[in-house]
Amino acid sequence: MSKRIQLSTRPAEAKEAEGADRWVGLDEPSSPADKRIKPVRLTFDLDPELHRRLRIHCFTLGQPISEFLRNQIQSVVEVDAFHKP
């Protein structure tokens, strides 16, 4: 039993940057409503004590750690962008 995956053929114009960009974008959805934003995974290490305190803090807020961190990162990025000339 073998699986066959259908791949599009690479056009001759793909050697040019514009042609390559067009070729890579062949599988993009046709309408903006079809596009889905794929989240990016962020992994980092925390000190076990800091992690424990973060878990307690988020528990008292009734908020998952991931949601809390996303909100914190978003607020830092927005403030940073606001203060840039």
Structural domain contains residue 80: yes
The verdict on residue 74 lying in a domain is yes
59-67, long-range: CB < 8 A, 24+ apart: none
Task: Provide the domain limits for residue 60.
Answer: 44-85
**9 inside domain:** no
Q: What is the pLDDT of residue 29?
A: 56
Tokens at 9, concatenated: 């053929």
Question: Half-sphere exposure (CA, 13 Å, Cβ side) for 17?
Answer: 0
pLDDT of res. 33:
58
| Domain assignment present for 24 | no
Is residue 73 in a domain? yes
Domains of the chain: total: 1
pTM exceeds 0.75: no
Cα separation, 34 vs 77, in Å, equals 27
pLDDT in tens, 15-38: 556 666 666 665 555 556 556 788
Q: Is residue 78 part of a domain?
A: yes
Residue type, 30: S
> What's the confidence (pLDDT) of residue 47?
97
- The parts of the chain modelled with pLDDT lower than 70 are 1-2, 7-35, 80-85
